[in-house]
Amino acid sequence: MKVLMVLTSHDQLGNTGHKTGFWLEEFTSPYYVFKDAGAEIVLASPKGGQPPLDPKSDLPDFQTDSTRRFEKDLAAQQQLANTLPLDQIHASDFDTVFYPGGHGPLWDLSNDAKSIALIEAFARSNKPLGFVCHAPAVLKNVKKDNGESFVKNKKVTGFSNSEEEAVQLTDVVPFLIEDEFKAQGADYEKGADWHSFVVVDGHLVTGQNPASSEAVAEQLLKQLQV
């Protein structure tokens, strides 16, 4: 079982002067779900190398068992520091793909031609696709073979408008995931703010927020074991 995890390379939070990137727990929890299941994990990002970590996600309030495990895991840290550039990645080499969130993907991966082509290739091969929190944003420009929006008529979730409002970034982000999905004709669903909520539509698995990251990874494993 070979798993691809794709992280953002974007570190600027709009014009705020603050840093963003990927959300630590949304990477570490799925990483260990896959690792403990015996998967071979490959990490990639648009630029390769060390992806930027959202500094907020490293604060004490947001630490979990998986982030604490990662803090002691030198091999995993080394792997994260050396992600492969996306142009070296081929969907045919993997069984599934998972995108962690953080605000970074809203700016780079949602518009990245290589990421878009990669997701389309996974979808054509009927391989499970997982996205959590802000990562579903990377589906914004993904198309079906008929040219329609990939999420049209699909059940999806992602960081909700009320959660974006709670972190006071509604006017900073380039678009709101909930609004974007609805505009594209998706069947957007959401649970309570900050509680685990996962939506499965065929091979597409989406999670609403950081609390959902482990559950998305577990759903991907379930699909691979069928």
CA distance 31 to 54: 17
End-to-end CA separation in angstroms for the chain: 13
User: What length is written for the chain?
Assistant: 226
Residues 40-73 pLDDT 10s: 999 999 999 999 999 999 999 999 999 999 999 9
In this prediction the pTM is 0.97
Amino acid at 169: L
CA distance 181 to 199: 14
Could you give the domains of the chain?
2-225 (3.40.50.880)
CA distance 138 to 102: 12
Residues 136-186 pLDDT 10s: 999 999 999 999 999 999 999 999 999 999 999 999 999 999 999 999 999
How distant is the alpha carbon of residue 219 from its chain centre?
14
